[in-house]
Amino acid sequence: MSDSTLLTATEISGLIERRDVSALEVTDAALRRIALLEPLIHAWAWLDPDRARDQARRVDAGLAAGLDGPHLLRGVPVGVKDIFNTADMPTEMGSRIWAGFRPGNDARIVFNLRYDGAIIPGKTRTSEFAVHEPTDVRNPHQLTHAPGTSSAGSAAAVASGMVPLALGSQTAGSCIRPASYCGVFGFKPTFGTVPRTGVLKTADTLDTVAWFARSIDDVERLFEVVRVRGRNYPLVDANVVRRPLTEPIAIAVVRGPHWSDATPAAQRVLTDAADHLRASGRFAVDEIEIPEAAEIYDDHELIYCKALSYYFRGEQRNDRSKISGVLTGMLERGEVTTPEAYHRAVARQAELTRRLNEEFRYAAYLTLSASGEAPRGLQSPDLPDTCKIWTYLGMPALSIPAAAGPNGLPIGLQVVAPKYADYRLLDVGRAIVDALGVRAAIATPQEAGQKVSGHLA
Amino acid sequence: MSDSTLLTATEISGLIERRDVSALEVTDAALRRIALLEPLIHAWAWLDPDRARDQARRVDAGLAAGLDGPHLLRGVPVGVKDIFNTADMPTEMGSRIWAGFRPGNDARIVFNLRYDGAIIPGKTRTSEFAVHEPTDVRNPHQLTHAPGTSSAGSAAAVASGMVPLALGSQTAGSCIRPASYCGVFGFKPTFGTVPRTGVLKTADTLDTVAWFARSIDDVERLFEVVRVRGRNYPLVDANVVRRPLTEPIAIAVVRGPHWSDATPAAQRVLTDAADHLRASGRFAVDEIEIPEAAEIYDDHELIYCKALSYYFRGEQRNDRSKISGVLTGMLERGEVTTPEAYHRAVARQAELTRRLNEEFRYAAYLTLSASGEAPRGLQSPDLPDTCKIWTYLGMPALSIPAAAGPNGLPIGLQVVAPKYADYRLLDVGRAIVDALGVRAAIATPQEAGQKVSGHLA
């Protein structure tokens, strides 16, 4: 076993279930790579190597005892964004105000991951309260660039090969954007299909658990471990009995209201991909407009700011010096929004969500994940993109690492499906990955003194 | 169809699934009883009869279309404590500070209930942030007495026949105590088996969703609709394949550290019940002490106060005039507790939970639900009881309406099982109900100008 840090979670799991490698070996390899790269990347808010090894030893003991059948992520290291409760590590939410806070329990999905046998080496850095404030996390592809907010540490940890999977979240574009910037897969499932018990609350109708991975199979494995189940979720469960996609797969390109903000290189990634998919003969590619999209941005902003101002009023009044300008601005906008305007906005969100999901006529929409490569410098703001639209509408979204831009940094394509069609979305994603011949990039910064750079399909 | 308000949820569901009664008829009957009694009881923070009727009409339309198989709570009115998010009603959490707050979404379990077809007529009154501050809700059995904190409205709504089921919660004794005072069944499932997405957060390692019902079958139905499912919860699911209880059923009476605080009448309820169960020949009744129990009270208090001081620091500093003396005292105690002391306490909680669950040698423990009848007056504090012990240990607990005290008010018996033995606990509860011949009491206050008083097995 040379280096499991270059394998996908699915590959690691296969080796572990066959006893070809131990959970401890996998964990040690991850910890070595973290030790090597963390001084450059700054992906982690908290690391606990000893505890991770203990967890791995327990997993190995269970494997040796042969007590139960295969798990999906047994022995697989998974990074956890520092907005999810963990019983054995702090949960600081990227805020100095909450420094050292330990809620004492695991978020439900952390419980689910541990129960399945996943190893949690630590907590990844997040923008303050998972909003937009830049972090000091570096983009593994170029350390002079940011990985994108807010799930910065999780995106960078996966992109640098520290862990094959990491939890993030998305209230605006906090998963899809950094996935694009870092050249890995990002997945935001249908709103409401992943539990938020023990998760930071910022906006009830927008907050969505999301994650980063090196392959779509890995994305799906994590979904299987954490998603809700039961008779109340037939729409998700029905998709488990999958109908194969019939070709040509009908997709629609959506440029979105901020198309002109996208860089020419990014625009070309989307138009070239559309041409390529059309030419492959496996896809029927239309181009559509969503006229309602423009108004969604304003409503998204209104809802987000008002919800933040409800939940962070205490921080705003008592710890003004410890909150960022970005958040302060949003809290102030929220404060002057009337409750009535907020109620009208969430009512419009519910109505538009119902209608635009009903009117979804394609297997998927195809759009950009971000408006270009990661901007230079750690403090640069992100350009407007389409992420907020799909978050607002509760639709599942997948970012596929599609190309490299003129600066050598990744650019992602976003695939979107109607609510509860998560499994079909992943299948469409696989077909696109296959047709475009793209894959996630694992970056080892040259500054690490090595020239190793693994690429994984 | 005379009056469905005297039926259990299970009976109502049977009538509805057989089309013997419509959801609208059931809802109208509940709304009539609410209109009759609410001026006396004050159980509701918010009522929306029109919306409830709309929901009922949609359920009836679905039934008429015959689109899907039987549901468990289709057409059954369920009250929702005002700490659970609702998309279409305010969520004020018993606090003036949050007056008018509408998060815009449904808590996951509210979603689950609606998806199953339950009708939500409104939100029930809660103590401020589900802590201990008395409310102005009246005990349906005697309007001069309180129903108990904090799930006051839900307990009173079920006990007065307004709804057959109502959601509450328990962080200390907020469900079991009011269930006892109001003569209905109360159930707090194993910690972590019911989702808290969209629920007020007060103490991560203690907060537990709970509910009130008229029968154990009703308790179980609601558990079926809202509980977590999936491969990560085999311990709960394994119990679904039930082994019948073998008699004699081994139970242990636990008097608890505050036995001397219980009224003589309450003490007699427990000792008489133990004698009766023993004499029935169906139970083997031991009596045990839990030496660790005494220290649990201090740790529970420490954890609760510290967690509150983390989550309500904003309210404490900015809205002191709008928070109760009870909460202020707890916040101040929390503030002077060091984070390290809190971390040690939650670590002890985890360790003691593991150990005392492992050492659980009986089918169930039997103890008092409260230390006596509901005290006279709305402002009287509750006497210490054993509830906090089981909340702290994450064990499922069931309150059974067992007897009436010298003031004619109910006294409950509490049955407790080890974690994840929720279904076995309910079966033990049924055996106890059967052996003691007890049942929930539906009270119609004489002040309502009627002498109707239904009793249900």
pLDDT digits (tens, 9 = 90+) for A381-422: 888 899 999 999 999 999 999 999 999 999 999 999 999 999
CA distance B154 to A126: 39
Q: What's the whole-number mean pLDDT along residues A103-120?
A: 96
Find chain A residues with C-beta within 8 A of B238's C-beta: none
Look at A104 and B315 and tell me if their CB atoms are within 8 Å: no
The alpha carbon of residue A178 is apart from the nearest alpha carbon of chain B, in Å, by 25
Look at A204 and B310 and tell me if their CB atoms are within 8 Å: no
Q: What's the whole-number mean pLDDT along residues B285-299?
A: 96
**pLDDT at res. B153:** 98
**pLDDT at res. B231:** 73
CA distance B193 to B394: 10
Find chain B residues with C-beta within 8 A of A313's C-beta: 314, 318
How many other C-beta atoms can be found within 10 angstroms of the C-beta atom of residue A307?
A: 25
Q: Which residues of A lie closer than 8 Å to B, measured between beta carbons?
A: 85, 87, 100-105, 108, 111-112, 115-116, 192, 195-199, 201, 204-205, 225, 228-232, 303, 307, 310, 312-315, 317-318, 339, 342-343, 346, 349-350
Q: What's the whole-number mean pLDDT along residues A174-195?
A: 97
Find chain B residues with C-beta within 8 A of A346's C-beta: 87, 102, 104-105
Q: Average model confidence (pLDDT) for chain A? A: 94
The alpha carbon of residue B2 is apart from the nearest alpha carbon of chain A, in Å, by 32
**pLDDT at res. B234:** 67
**pLDDT level of residue B457 (50, 70, 90 thresholds):** very low
pLDDT digits (tens, 9 = 90+) for A288-323: 999 999 899 999 999 999 999 999 999 999 999 999
Q: What spatial distance separates the first Cα and last Cα of chain B, rounded to whole Å? A: 19
Nearest to B318 among A195, A229, A317 (CB): A317
Find chain A residues with C-beta within 8 A of B116's C-beta: 231-232
Q: Provide the whole-model pTM.
A: 0.94
The alpha carbon of residue A155 is apart from the nearest alpha carbon of chain B, in Å, by 25
Look at B204 and A101 and tell me if their CB atoms are within 8 Å: no
**pLDDT level of residue B235 (50, 70, 90 thresholds):** low
The alpha carbon of residue B368 is apart from the nearest alpha carbon of chain A, in Å, by 29
Cα of B439 vs its chain's centroid, Å: 16
Residue to mutate among B232, B315, B352, B419, with most A CBs inside 10 A, is: B232
pLDDT digits (tens, 9 = 90+) for B33-49: 999 999 999 999 999 99
- Would the pLDDT of A456 be above 50? no
**pLDDT at res. B339:** 96
Q: What's the whole-number mean pLDDT along residues A192-215?
A: 97
Tally of CA atoms within 13 A in the half-sphere of A162 that contains its CB: 34
The alpha carbon of residue A171 is apart from the nearest alpha carbon of chain B, in Å, by 14
> β-strands B44-47, B122-124: how paired?
antiparallel
CA distance A265 to A260: 12
**pLDDT at res. B233:** 73
pLDDT digits (tens, 9 = 90+) for A363-377: 999 999 999 999 999
The alpha carbon of residue B437 is apart from the nearest alpha carbon of chain A, in Å, by 34
- Would the pLDDT of A260 be above 70? yes
Q: What's the whole-number mean pLDDT along residues B411-437?
A: 96
CA distance B1 to B41: 26
Residue to mutate among A91, A102, A348, with most B CBs inside 10 A, is: A102
Query: Among B79, B75, B80, which Cα is nearest to B58's?
Result: B75
**pLDDT at res. A450:** 52
Find chain A residues with C-beta within 8 A of B101's C-beta: 310, 339
Q: What is the 3-state secondary structure (H, E, C) of A308-368?
A: HHHHCHHHHHHCHHHCCHHHHHHHHHHHHCCHHHHHHHHHHHHHHHHHHHHCCCCCEEEEE
Domains defined for chain A, CATH in brackets:
4-245+374-456 (3.90.1300.10), 293-347 (no CATH)
C-beta of residue A413 within 8 angstroms of C-beta of residue A427: no
Look at A195 and B198 and tell me if their CB atoms are within 8 Å: no
In A, minimum Cα distance to B231 occurs at A225
Phi/psi-derived region of residue B256, left when phi > 0, alpha when psi is between -120 and 50, beta in every other case: left
CA distance B336 to B333: 6
Find chain B residues with C-beta within 8 A of A85's C-beta: 204
Q: What's the whole-number mean pLDDT along residues A66-95?
A: 93
How many other C-beta atoms can be found within 10 angstroms of the C-beta atom of residue B381?
A: 10
The dihedrals phi and psi of A399, each to the nearest 5 degrees, come to -100, 130
Report DSSP letters for B109-158, one per residue: HHHHHHHHT-B--EEE--SGGGSS---SPPBTTBTTB---SSSHHHHHHH
Q: What's the whole-number mean pLDDT along residues B176-187?
A: 98
Query: Among B54, B27, B45, which Cα is nearest to B164's?
Result: B27
Lowest mean pLDDT among A245-254, A391-400, B239-248: B239-248
**pLDDT at res. A453:** 41
Look at A232 and B310 and tell me if their CB atoms are within 8 Å: no
The alpha carbon of residue B426 is apart from the nearest alpha carbon of chain A, in Å, by 21
Nearest to A204 among B198, B204, B346 (CB): B198
ipTM of the complex: 0.90
Nearest to B101 among A230, A310, A314 (CB): A310
**pLDDT level of residue B240 (50, 70, 90 thresholds):** low
**pLDDT at res. B454:** 40
Looking at the DSSP bridge assignments, the partners of residue A404 are: A410
The alpha carbon of residue A109 is apart from the nearest alpha carbon of chain B, in Å, by 10
* Interface A:B, Cβ pairs < 8 A: 115
Residue A15, judged by CB atoms within 10 A of its CB (0-12, 13-18, 19+), counts as: middle
> β-strands B249-254, B283-288: how paired?
parallel
CA distance A177 to A371: 9
Look at B195 and A197 and tell me if their CB atoms are within 8 Å: yes
Look at A104 and B346 and tell me if their CB atoms are within 8 Å: yes
The alpha carbon of residue A16 is apart from the nearest alpha carbon of chain B, in Å, by 19
The alpha carbon of residue B212 is apart from the nearest alpha carbon of chain A, in Å, by 21
Detail the DSSP E strand segments found in B272-335: 283-288
Nearest to A232 among B87, B112, B350 (CB): B112
Nearest to A196 among B197, B317, B342 (CB): B197
What percent of chain B clears pLDDT 70, i.e. is strictly above it?
96
Look at A204 and B85 and tell me if their CB atoms are within 8 Å: yes
Q: Treating both helix axes as pointing N-terminal to C-terminal, what angle do B293-311 and B325-336 enclose, rounded to 10 degrees? A: 100
Find chain A residues with C-beta within 8 A of B197's C-beta: 195-197, 199
Look at A105 and B205 and tell me if their CB atoms are within 8 Å: yes
pLDDT digits (tens, 9 = 90+) for B152-172: 999 999 999 999 999 999 999
**pLDDT at res. B241:** 66
Find chain A residues with C-beta within 8 A of B100's C-beta: 339
Look at B315 and A315 and tell me if their CB atoms are within 8 Å: no
Structure tokens at B277: 């169960």
- Would the pLDDT of A232 be above 90? no
Residue to mutate among B204, B221, B331, B393, with most A CBs inside 10 A, is: B204
Q: Is A64 helix (H, G, I), strand (E, B) or coil?
A: helix
The alpha carbon of residue B266 is apart from the nearest alpha carbon of chain A, in Å, by 35
Q: Do you find a cis peptide bond into B260, omega within 30 degrees of 0?
A: no
Look at A205 and B104 and tell me if their CB atoms are within 8 Å: yes
**pLDDT at res. B237:** 62
Look at B101 and A303 and tell me if their CB atoms are within 8 Å: no
Nearest to B317 among A195, A229, A314 (CB): A314
In B, minimum Cα distance to A234 occurs at B115
Cα of B232 vs its chain's centroid, Å: 25
**pLDDT at res. B450:** 52
Query: Among A311, A447, A370, A413, which Cα is nearest to A38's?
Result: A447
pLDDT digits (tens, 9 = 90+) for B296-317: 999 999 999 999 999 999 999 9
Q: Average model confidence (pLDDT) for chain B? A: 94
Find chain B residues with C-beta within 8 A of A303's C-beta: 104
Q: What's the whole-number mean pLDDT along residues A81-109?
A: 97
Cα of A265 vs its chain's centroid, Å: 23
The dihedrals phi and psi of A53, each to the nearest 5 degrees, come to -65, -40
How many other C-beta atoms can be found within 10 angstroms of the C-beta atom of residue A158?
A: 36
- Would the pLDDT of B456 be above 70? no
Q: What's the whole-number mean pLDDT along residues A16-20?
A: 95
In A, minimum Cα distance to B346 occurs at A104
Find chain A residues with C-beta within 8 A of B92's C-beta: none
In B, minimum Cα distance to A101 occurs at B339
